[in-house]
Chain A
Amino acid sequence: MTPTLSVRNLRVEIPTRRGVLRAIDDLSFDIAPGEVLGMVGESGAGKSITGSAIIGLLEPPGRVAGGEIRLAGERIDHLPPERMRHVRGKRIGMIFQDPLTSLNPLYRIGEQLTETILTHEQLSGRAARDKAQRLLEEVGIPAAAERLSAYPHQFSGGMRQRVVIALALAADPQLVIADEPTTALDVSVQAQIIALLKRICADRGASVMLITHDMGVIAETADRVCVLYAGRLAEIGPVRDVVKHPQHPYTRGLMAAIPSLAGDPDEKLAQIPGSMPRLGAIPPGCAFNPRCDFAFDRCRAERPDAYPAGATQAACFLHDAKNPPPPEIAGRASEVGLGVTRAPAEVPQ
């Protein structure tokens, strides 16, 4: 089956006075039809830039410098702006973090919805208005008929985000890119919006690329997850495996650092020393090597490919079966469940 979205060796560059920065370096991933792919990473890891590159809205001077982006098999990088405009909205819907910036404060909600519908569909004004109302009902806005004539400021934060979801889905897109859709919302509202997004995309069979820094949101929503670090792929795989048995030392550190409602509250949180390098100062070899407990010489010299690691793929030399890491490193890594010996349960007694 053709994936809804296929990204191959994507490279995004930002030319600056001090040289060209690589914001995304050799990133490849697929999203299958109906699948929710979570895109996680810390700020500056390149999650949002990946999203912008796909929809062709990279902020200049950023540019796609290499690789391919295919939507249902058709290349959409380097489409002429007019054609790309048609792809956006019609075939790819977008949801951004702050609902206020996606809605025009001067137009009524109904006008904004019908405008979007009419841009992409041949409908009469009345039919478009009916569809707008149905959409609002679908995203759970009470008294949808009356609310069509309300302005964005008359909605609460959660309701606004519902309207944005309705807008993104107005033209029945194949792919929805949601960039931190719940970050600006309160916890209790966040859960409602996630549930809504998940349900409504599943109903329509739309694929979702969910960009967030919140691993909890991913764990609840995504089917697969792609972990980015300094613009590069660290690990990609089914969400359960990545969360429960992460195979990249970075993912493992990230998981352990998240405070959770389970476990011993008196225990210190695991922490990764240092912080993610700036784009201009990515170390040679693996970008994570200065912070990694298991780094060896090769990590400082060569860049790792993504190797199969259990159920996931990890860009880490611990998983290179042809050229395995030094026994001492491999031993230490396997003690914590990383590397060739996978889940601790499989280790013979």
Chain B
Amino acid sequence: MNPAETSLVSPGPATDAPLVEVKGLRRVFDLSKPLLNRLIEGGGRVTLTAVDSVDFSIRRGETYALVGESGSGKSTIAKMAVGLLPPSAGSITIEGIDVWGEKSADVQRRMRRRIQMIFQDPFASLNPRWRVGSIVEEPIKAFAMIPDAKDRAARVGELLSLVGLDPRDGSKFPHEFSGGQRQRIAIARALASEPHFIVCDEPTSALDVSVQAQVLNLLRELQERLGLTYLFISHNLAVVRHVATRVGVLYLGRLVEEAPARELFADPKHPYTRMLLDAVPDIEMAGKERLAIAGEIPNPVNPPPGCHFHPRCPFVMPHCKTVVPPVLARGDAGVRCHLFAEG
């Protein structure tokens, strides 16, 4: 291992405790009209429960993937995890520190440094007026990690070569790079503060397939070398299968199934997970049997009662329409479906 890497390896306490713990997480958005309009025009409050009692934990060095369609609440969870959006209830703990709890400015700073995010659109997430070098340098400056300008420049060079760019690329502007290279710059910036935990929000969905493979392989390589922990948000199950150690499937804000990746893909339990897997276009052309897919994700403002999935579920039972299924443990996995209730 060369010295450039050693400085990046996060030593961290070697415990079995999960790095990230999410408990009872809930986020409600208020979509009501302003008070005055409500008084004059009538009509009550309108709320949208984007995330509803979500629990999961991520072990150090693992990749936890959240999968779901639009409106399932996956990006809302990402925003709450990095501290951009306060939860309505529940907690997110990273390395034992509650992201949204009361804490001293010093603890807050230390925690922030350890959390980074990679966004979907590398055209929007890089400032077009800044040189790449300054973009990557910014977190180092913000956390006052390297006081000397020369050392800082050297470090930026290291980071750029770490993500497969040329250190000299630092003097260029973002528009001189292709989509895949820009995502590499965004990754270099995320690595600059030596994070332990990186939230990747659809990091490859804006990229072409051949470039997507480059970025996915890079993320995996960096994880192995630097012991990073990822929360990986995606709607693409085939991509998730290649990166995740554990997968959570979201439907209208609820985690309907959660399992180790291998298990989830080999033996999906929840009817929604099965439907999602069946919907993936079959590149192998094996002509597989498909579960009939019907309907679309309902409006999250007014979700169906009971199990949110019941109007689309091929195995619906009478009590699915009224009773919210609890999380049923199945070994290392959990599923929120009445089909799996005992007896």
Binding site for B on A (CB under 8 A): 42-43, 156-159, 186-192, 194, 213-217, 219-220, 239-240, 243-244, 253-255, 257-262, 265, 268-273, 275-276
Contact = CB atoms under 8 A, between A and B. Distances in A.
A257 B213 contact: yes
Q: Which one of B217, B281, B282 has the greatest number of beta carbons of chain A within 10 Å?
A: B281
Contacts of A42: 208-211
Contact of B210 (A158, A217, A275): A275
Nearest to A270: B213
Contacts, number: 123
Given A158-B296, A186-B297, A271 B217 contact: yes
Contacts of B284: 219, 260-262
A48 B290 CA distance: 31
B242 A188 contact: no
Nearest to A157: B296
B297 to A, nearest CB: 6
17 contacts: A187-B69, A187-B236, A188-B276, A188-B296, A191-B293, A192-B293, A219-B281, A220-B282, A220-B285, A243-B285, A254-B209, A258-B209, A261-B265, A261-B284, A271-B214, A272-B210, A275-B178
A269 B242 contact: yes
Contacts of B327: none
Contacts of B285: 219-220, 239-240, 243-244
Contact of B217 (A186, A255, A269, A275): A269
Interface in B276-309: 276-285, 290, 293-294, 296-297
Contacts of A220: 281-282, 285
Given A191-B278, A219-B284, A260-B284, 17 more contacts: A187-B69, A187-B236, A188-B69, A190-B281, A216-B280, A216-B281, A216-B283, A219-B285, A220-B282, A244-B285, A257-B213, A258-B238, A259-B236, A262-B284, A271-B217, A275-B180, A276-B208
A38 B261 CA distance: 32
Contact of B265 (A43, A159, A265, A271): A265
A157 B298 CA distance: 11
A265 B262 contact: yes
Contacts of B261: 265
Contact of B235 (A187, A268, A269, A272): A187
Contact of A261 (B178, B209, B213, B241): B241
A194 B282 CA distance: 12
A276 B238 CA distance: 23
A187 B276 contact: yes
Interface of B: 69-70, 178-181, 208-214, 216-217, 220, 235-239, 241-242, 261-262, 265, 275-285, 290, 293-294, 296-297
A187 B71 CA distance: 13
A186 B283 contact: no
A266 to B, nearest CB: 9
A261 B279 CA distance: 11
A259 B204 CA distance: 12
Contact of B216 (A159, A190, A269): A269
A285 to B, nearest CB: 20
Contact of B279 (A187, A244, A259, A271): A187
Given A269-B217, A271-B214, A261 B280 contact: yes
Contacts of B297: 186, 188
A256 B223 CA distance: 22
A213 B208 contact: yes
B10 to A, nearest CB: 23
Nearest to B180: A275
Contacts of B211: 42, 275
Given A188-B279, A275-B210, A259 B220 contact: no
Contact of A186 (B70, B209, B290): B70
A35 B275 CA distance: 29
A194 B279 CA distance: 11
Given A187-B280, A265-B242, A156 B296 contact: yes
Contacts of A192: 293-294
Contacts of B242: 259, 265, 269
B296 A259 contact: no
B302 to A, nearest CB: 13
B216 A259 contact: yes
A186 B235 contact: yes
Nearest to B211: A275
Contacts of B277: 261
Given A190-B279, A260-B238, A262-B284, A213 B296 contact: no
A257 B281 contact: no
Nearest to B262: A265
Nearest to A192: B293
Given A186-B296, A192-B293, A253-B210, A268 B217 contact: yes
B244 to A, nearest CB: 8
B265 A260 contact: no
B50 to A, nearest CB: 16
Most chain A C-beta atoms within 10 Å of own C-beta, residue among B208, B238, B241: B208
Contacts of B235: 186-187
A261 B273 CA distance: 14
Nearest to B212: A257
Nearest to A212: B281
Given A158-B296, A262-B284, A265-B261, A254 B241 contact: no
Contacts of B216: 259, 269
B210 A259 contact: no
B215 to A, nearest CB: 9
Contact of B281 (A186, A191, A272): A191
B279 A258 contact: no
A297 to B, nearest CB: 25
A64 to B, nearest CB: 26
A42 B220 CA distance: 23
Contacts of A265: 241-242, 261-262, 265
A240 B179 CA distance: 30
A190 B236 CA distance: 12
A329 to B, nearest CB: 22
A213 B209 contact: yes
Contacts of B210: 42, 253-254, 257, 271-272, 275
